[in-house]
């Protein structure tokens, strides 16, 4: 089939019917509360914490500022161990806190931070580990927490790719000291832009809420040099509406992943990730790996060929964060320290996946990949 008449991007934002949004806007116009912990904000915190199965959630204007604030909330300083295989904001959040990122390689199965390599990177200045549940696959959390406990380190998960993901029926968001989410337009669940920090006790929730509102703890009390990171009422209203259809959206993503797997299995030199036993996934991305020797083409050749047919896959995550000029001078970024990440970044393409992606387009994409 010919897909050349329309562009197919890696994702398309989930949007509710416009007419369903209008009554929410009318409420905002009537009560004239636009932000500052308004009624929709409060309602969304309540509904999201219930949906996600977490104790406390604090909404943010976006995921990056939530990450920056999470590090502030725990007073993280010095060095933090993190993964080079992520969206660049995971490391930028460290830089904005004057923290030195120490990159540790990923494991080869699901490309999350490799616990076996963490200990060697710990120094007297290490205060925390910042792993990423990349593509929504849970990190090897048990092993990470064992190390964190031994060395007295905090664990902050970048959970920007996970929405509603559970492992053995437990929400992954409940692990670690804090988890940070993104509700950006491109994510499984969006509030246009948005984000959140998940925490496990009331004092921490209060501290985070203060930090996101300039550090105000009362009308005339400022307890920290906080920031303005609040989610506004329009975003919160969007979030409430999106929550109504999120299960359907994730169900559709699951079926798309299944169709890709059916059609792409057994192709020499083309690999994809399977679901993990006991994990309820959210299917945020569908990465494939191209082995240039076995497949007979490089990843970039495949990427370009798809592009010629107006299929815009994305090379998430290429380059590695450690390869950007800002970070490549770091000792831990040196070639040879991150060999698995360096290999995967040359092989990966994320194929389009979003609820309204139709079967005909999926078939067309797969036909281009079958040699």
Ligand X SMILES: *Cc1c(COP(=O)(O)O)cnc(C)c1O
- Our CB check for ligand X shows the closer of 192 and 216 to be 192
Per CB under 6 A, which region of 1-9, 141-149, 155-163, 208-216 contacts ligand X?
A: 155-163
Query: Quick one: which of 59, 68, 70, 132 contacts ligand X (CB under 6 A)?
Result: 132
**Which residue intervals of 53-140 are DSSP H helices?**
63-73, 89-95
Q: Does 45 contact ligand X by CB under 6 A?
A: no
Full strand arrangement of the beta sheet holding 286-290:
270-272, 286-290, 348-351
DSSP for 119-151, please give it.
Answer: GGG--TTEEEEE-B-GGGPPP-HHHHHHHHHHH
Q: Is residue 237 at the binding interface for ligand X, with CB under 6 A as the rule?
A: no
Does 362 help bind ligand X (rule: CB under 6 A)?
A: no
User: What is the longest distance spanned by two Cα atoms in the chain?
Assistant: 68
- Nearer to ligand X among residue 69 and residue 90 (C-beta): 90
Q: How does strand 100-103 pair with strand 311-312? A: unpaired
Q: In terms of Cα–Cα distance, which of 341, 359, 366, 367 is closest to 111? A: 341
Query: Judged by CB under 6 A, does residue 189 bind ligand X?
Result: no
* φ, ψ at 360 (rounded to 5°): -65, -40
Q: Which is nearer to ligand X, 257 or 362 (CB)?
A: 257
Q: Cα-flanking dihedrals φ and ψ of residue 159, to 5°? A: -110, 30
Structure tokens belonging to residue 331 = 């000792």
Residue of the chain from 160, 165, 238, 357 that contacts ligand X (CB under 6 A): 160
Supply the minimum distance, in Å, between the C-beta of residue 43 and ligand X: 21
Choose, by CB under 6 A, the member of 70, 89, 153, 273 that binds ligand X: 89
Which lies closer to ligand X via its Cβ, residue 86 or residue 270?
86
Instruction: Indicate whether 184 belongs to the interface with ligand X (CB under 6 A).
Output: yes
Q: Which of 11, 82, 83, 90 binds ligand X (CB under 6 A)?
A: 90
The dihedral through the CA atoms of 255, 260, 262, 263 has a sign that is positive
Chain residues binding ligand X by CB under 6 A are 62-64, 86-87, 89-90, 132, 158, 160-161, 182, 184, 195
């Amino acid at each position: 089939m010919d897909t050349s008449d329309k562009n197919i991007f890696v994702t398309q934002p989930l949007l509710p019917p416009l007419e369903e949004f209008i009554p929410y806007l009318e409420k905002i116009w009537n009560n004239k509360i636009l932000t500052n912990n308004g009624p929709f904000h409060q309602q969304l915190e309540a509904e999201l914490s219930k949906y996600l199965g977490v104790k406390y959630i604090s909404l943010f204007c976006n995921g990056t500022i939530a990450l920056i604030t999470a590090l502030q909330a725990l007073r993280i300083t010095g060095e933090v161990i993190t993964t080079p295989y992520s969206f660049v904001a995971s490391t930028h959040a460290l830089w904005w806190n004057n923290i030195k990122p120490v990159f540790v390689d990923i494991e080869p199965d699901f490309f999350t931070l490799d616990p076996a390599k963490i200990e060697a990177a710990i120094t007297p200045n290490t205060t925390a580990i910042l792993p990423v549940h990349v593509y929504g696959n849970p990190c090897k959390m048990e092993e990470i927490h064992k190390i964190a406990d031994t060395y007295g380190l905090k664990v902050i998960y970048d959970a920007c790719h996970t929405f509603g993901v559970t492992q053995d029926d437990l929400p992954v968001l409940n692990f670690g000291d804090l988890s940070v989410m993104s509700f950006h337009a491109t994510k499984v669940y969006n509030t246009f832009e948005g984000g959140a920090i998940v925490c496990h006790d009331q004092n921490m929730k209060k501290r985070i809420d203060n930090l996101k509102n300039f550090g105000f703890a009362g009308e005339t009390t400022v307890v920290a040099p906080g920031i303005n990171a609040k989610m506004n009422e329009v975003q919160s209203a969007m979030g409430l509406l999106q929550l109504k259809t999120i299960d359907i959206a994730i169900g559709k993503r699951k079926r798309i992943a299944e169709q890709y797997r059916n059609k792409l299995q057994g192709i020499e030199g083309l690999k994809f990730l399977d679901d993990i036993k006991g994990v309820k996934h959210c299917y945020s991305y569908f990465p494939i790996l191209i082995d240039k020797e076995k497949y007979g083409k490089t990843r970039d050749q495949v990427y370009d060929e798809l592009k010629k047919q107006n299929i815009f896959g994305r090379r998430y995550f290429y380059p590695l964060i450690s390869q950007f000029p800002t970070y490549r001078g770091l000792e831990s970024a040196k070639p040879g320290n991150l060999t698995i990440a360096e290999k995967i970044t040359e092989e990966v393409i994320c194929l389009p996946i979003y609820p309204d992606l139709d079967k005909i387009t999926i078939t067309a994409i797969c036909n281009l990949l079958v040699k």
